[in-house]
Structure 1
Amino acid sequence: MTVWIDGDSCPKQVRDIINTRCINEKIQVHYVANSSLPLPESPYISMILTSNAPDSADDYILEHSRQGDLILTRDIPLASALVKKRLVVMNDRGNLFTKDNVSERLAQRDFMQMMREAGIGQDKGKNYGPKEVKAFAACFDRELVRMLREERFAKAART
């Protein structure tokens, strides 16, 4: 299992949770972004720098992630593409993207973007505090435990 992080917008509190948990579990984490992030020294944590081209980090994650990986992103179009690959995708607010909800979230995102471009509506959801960090930590832990259990079960079945 590898954890992929769309690092361009990943809050520090979330990085800290991911890093601590993945180092303890010896899980590889790849942060992908077009600028460097401050990360701890660990053989389990790497920074992959992409170009400044639009969606370069998204494209890298989409190309390199595989079945059994966990991906963290705020980017709903990327989440939609990853869900189509049948990967586990979540955001930093503890929301899991699934085949049942990603199309609706994409449509909602597109509608809100259209409204902002027309000068209607306001940017909501910019607040990120303890409640969101707690929701992320709970979802991340739940998915990580579930995926590790499935991975161990699959390895045991092969032997």
Structure 2
Amino acid sequence: MKIWIDADACPVVIKEILFRAAERTKRQLILIANHPLYIPPSPFIRMQQVESGFDVADNEIVKRVESGDLVITSDIPLAAEVIRKEGLVLSPRGELYTKENIGARLSMRDFMENLRNSGVDTGGQATMNQNDRKVFANQLDKLLAQ
């Protein structure tokens, strides 16, 4: 299992959890982003910079992910594509996206986007807190132990 990170939008605190997990489990961790990012020196961690542009990083992840790989993203359409390729998807808040729940998540995403496009202020996600980090770390540990 390789771990892929949709790194442009992934919170630093989550990347740090992933860096430690890659070292501990000796798994390949690849950050995909359209700008340079810091990564610690490690034989298990690398960063691939892609061109700027709409969905360029997402498309690179979909192209390279294999069945059983884990992708960290909050991007619902990317999650759906990874699931179609039989990959695992975990959000930075610890939500596991599956074949069973991704359709509902896509519908909700589209609904909220339509509301925003019509001028409704839908707010945004709450700031990530310590509990969110704990939920993510626990879910990550479960996936890596499989």
- Scaled by the length of structure 2, what TM-score is found? 0.96
Deviations 1:6-44 (A, max 9, x none): 001111111111101111111110000101111111111
Identical amino acids, percent of aligned pairs: 36
Which residue does 1:106 correspond to in 2? Answer: 106
How far is the alpha carbon of 1:116 from its aligned partner?
1.1
> What are the ranges of 5 or more consecutive residues in structure 1 without an aligned counterpart?
147-159
How far is the alpha carbon of 1:122 from its aligned partner?
2.0
Q: Which has the larger radius of gyration?
A: 1
> What are the ranges of 5 or more consecutive residues in structure 2 without an aligned counterpart?
none
Deviations 1:50-85 (A, max 9, x none): 000211100000000111211111100000111111
Mean Cα deviation higher: 117-126 or 47-56: 117-126
- Where do residues 8-157 of structure 1 align in structure 2 (5 Å cutoff)? 8-146=8-146
**How many correspondences in the alignment?**
146
Partners in 1 of 2:132 and 2:101 — Cα distance?
19
Mean Cα deviation higher: 97-106 or 125-134: 125-134
**3-state secondary structure, aligned to 2:4:** strand
Partners in 1 of 2:112 and 2:121 — Cα distance?
8
Moved beyond 6 Å, runs of 4+? none
Q: Which amino acid aligns with 2:18?
A: I
Whether contact under 8 Å (2:68, 2:86) holds in the other structure is: no
Partners in 1 of 2:126 and 2:60 — Cα distance?
26
CA RMSD of aligned residues (A): 1.0
